[in-house]
A and B are shown apart, each in its own frame.
Chain A
Amino acid sequence: MSRTALLLLADGRFPAGGHAHSGGMEAAVASGAVHDTTSLEAFCRGRLHTAGLTAAGLAAAAATGHDPLALDDAADTRTPVPALRHIGRRLGRQLLRAARATWPCPELDHIAHHRPGGVHQPVVLGVAARAAGLTPLDAAHAAAYDSVGGPATAAVRLLSLDPFDAAAVLGRLADDCDDVAGEAADAAGRVATAGTTVLPAASAPLLDITGEHHAAWTVRLFAS
């Protein structure tokens, strides 16, 4: 594996469109639920262990070479609200464009061909990781980190938080990220024999409720 490929894939500057999304942070800030560093950390920790774990499982499974279209269906069953399914596919399309340019391969072409409307972002992330020569655990790490990196960066802009404080939050979440990635990769290792039902399906009621709510706003800074 190439460590540099993992850094590139997980880099917020990788042109995959993630900077336009707050992962529910904009809605949480608007409701007053996130207002300082402590509540930012609680938000990120909760998101990591729910949506982050689920995404990491899907990404790791895709990186094992499991059928990405079946994993896309599994992502649908784990995403009960339409707004978040829409966002997941939109982010997936953008990541797919960047990944095909960076690590061209038939597997990435395959999902573009079969799901022109897009595939959920964690599934694309896993296929891209595989194309870059990375392991399922690497893919899970990238997805877990992505689940908190985006919201933390968004909080800096939304709340004018000190970027050092936001970075410290992410630093304190490092062990949790490792645990989530490990759990996700373990589950992904069983997918080939046991099917996609063994993948994590952790969900968070408020992320679903506010995700749909945010999509109905007429004026917003972030797309999600």
Chain B
Amino acid sequence: MKSGPEAPATALLPGDGDGTSTRRPVRTGTPHLPDAASRATGGTPPAGVRAAARLRAAHNGRTTTVPLLHSDGPFHLRRLRPRGEQARVCVLGAMSAPLGGDRLALDVTAGARTRLEVTTAAATIALRGSTRDPATYDVRLTVGEDASLDWLPQPLISAAGSTLHQTYRVELAGTSRLLLREEQLLGRSAEPPGHLSTRLTVRRNGRPVLDQHTAYGAPASAWDGPAVLGGHRATGQLLLVEPGLDAPPAPVLLGDPARGQCVLAPLADSQVLLATAVAPTLARLRHLLDAALAHVPRAEAPS
């Protein structure tokens, strides 16, 4: 693992420039102060981990390589064996995160003509931690011209007492392909969920094509009522961008109110398809999203 010389110098990140790209994953009982910059800001130091991991795939003329793989905090990035021309990276959880007060960021770039898949090794569990402060988790996915990115993490579980604000910012070129799956479970078994809010914005050729904000768990209002989740505890989405689609498929409706429901339909930008599902369990949710994906011409089911 090495930091590429062209690593974007957008932020002062722990681990940057010191020759290592992995911070030792420790979590102590005291607030973690990763660098001088955050201490120098004055005021109360943030309680929790501050981490920004990055990875970037590039095409070397023959195949996809991953010249930048910068692990940080809870994100340990590991190359997996390529699948044909597709480079694969797995995000391993090096510590329990996010906890209250954590500020986490993951930045993934699939450069022009690359084929990249990013997965996570285990479910991400949002926990309360030592403070009731909200945790933030910002995922930025950038896909270049003629590139494809499969973002297929394991589910996110919102545990009782946790507060997590998640953002997904997706930037696509006009010829980019994307398969994004996002699954959420609200509460572990027999517990109420924490508070989980997710803002998903997708831009294609610089134009917004999807802007969505969900908020579940108290203090969100009526989040489990009949207009929002209808008592279901698992919800998720599959976003598919296929520039090769000649004609948008007709909306597909799957499932039933008791065992979970899903709709797959084109956005106003008809080369972007979105499946939205609610279900009683993660297994039913995955079943619905897989079934929706099978309705899309040319797209293959993820492993």
Q: CB within 8 Å of B: which residues of A?
A: 24, 28, 31-34, 39, 42-51, 73-74, 76-83, 85, 176, 196-197, 200-210, 212-213, 216
Contacts and interface: CB of A to CB of B under 8 A. Distances in A.
The 5 closest A-B pairs by CB, nearest first: A42-B225, A46-B227, A33-B226, A46-B222, A45-B222
B211 interface: yes
B221 A80 contact: no
Nearest to B260: A209
A177 to B, nearest CB: 12
Residue from the set A48, A80, A201 with the largest chain B CB neighbour count within 10 Å: A80
Contacts of A44: 227
A216 B220 CA distance: 31
A196 B208 CA distance: 10
B104 interface: no
8 contacts: A43-B225, A46-B226, A82-B251, A196-B208, A201-B201, A205-B214, A206-B227, A206-B229
A81 B221 CA distance: 23
B261 interface: yes
A74 B211 contact: yes
Interface residues of B, number: 35
Given A74-B208, A205-B229, A205-B235, A81 B222 contact: no
Interface of B: 199, 201, 208-215, 220-223, 225-230, 235, 251, 253, 257, 261-263, 265-268, 274, 276-278
Given A80-B212, A82-B266, A202-B213, A34 B226 contact: yes
B253 A77 contact: no
B209 A77 contact: yes
B213 A200 contact: yes
Contacts of B220: 49
A42 B226 contact: yes
What secondary structure prevails in chain A residues at the interface with B? helix
Residue from the set A31, A42, A206 with the largest chain B CB neighbour count within 10 Å: A206
Contacts of A24: 227
A33 B257 contact: yes
B195 to A, nearest CB: 14
A197 B208 contact: yes
B263 A81 contact: yes
Contact of A81 (B214, B223, B235, B251): B251
B277 A45 contact: no
Contacts of A47: 227
A212 B226 CA distance: 16
A51 B263 CA distance: 17
Nearest to A39: B226
Contacts of B213: 200-203
Given A204-B214, A210-B261, 11 more contacts: A42-B225, A45-B227, A51-B227, A82-B266, A200-B213, A201-B211, A202-B214, A203-B214, A205-B276, A205-B278, A206-B278
A213 B228 contact: no
Nearest to A47: B227
A73 B212 CA distance: 14
A83 to B, nearest CB: 7
A51 B251 CA distance: 21
Contacts of A31: 257
